[in-house]
Amino acid sequence: MSQAPLILASASPRRRELLAGLGVAFDVVTAQVTEHEEATTDPRVMVAHNAALKADWVAERHPHAWVLGADTTVFIDGHALNKPQDGVEARAMLRRLSGRTHTVFTGIALRHHATGVRIDQGVASNVTLRVLDEPAIEAYLAKVYTLDKAGGYGIQDHGELIVDHYTGSLTNIIGLPVDETKQLLTRCGLLKS
């Protein structure tokens, strides 16, 4: 049984760090769900669906807690780039993103099962990568484990090696848009304004 008034329905260490930075007490419960990751699905629909799926699964099991779910993907050329399956796919993703601008979409879902509260929100940011040759890709992959990161990279992990610039929310690109999350938690009385 969760003791904190808020549960993060995510195994992501990055989301845990970002949420902890808001100063709210929370527990972590990983949702046992199969996420929808069809590459040609509208990325806004995909991340909203997956965030809700995680939040709903945990909220049903902890009906008196607030539950926050989130999901992030990278989108370019009409396709979502989710977590790479292996190093070969990670390299292919970095080649595809090289020298180009892509969009990072995150869906967040806040639930309180006992009262029926359901709030969903989506956030988008743009990232432009440097032109990456093969040695640059190999140097990056030698420093960063990328198989748990959408698009095969993490802006917070040696991003200076591959990222030229970004617009929008940095924390959205990392995996949890902090400003929007803070507004939702304040609205629901979990944080003081």
DSSP codes joined into one string, 133-172: -HHHHHHHHHH---TTSGGG--TTTTGGGTEEEEES-HHH
Beta bridge partners of 128: 101, 165
Cα three-residue angle 166-172-176, rounded to 5 degrees = 160
Among 71, 77, 133, 148, the one annotated catalytic: 71
Instruction: State yes or no: is 71 an active-site residue.
Output: yes
Looking up tokens 């190093």 gives 87
Beta bridge partners of 182: none
d(CA 74, CA 164): 16
The catalytic residues are 71
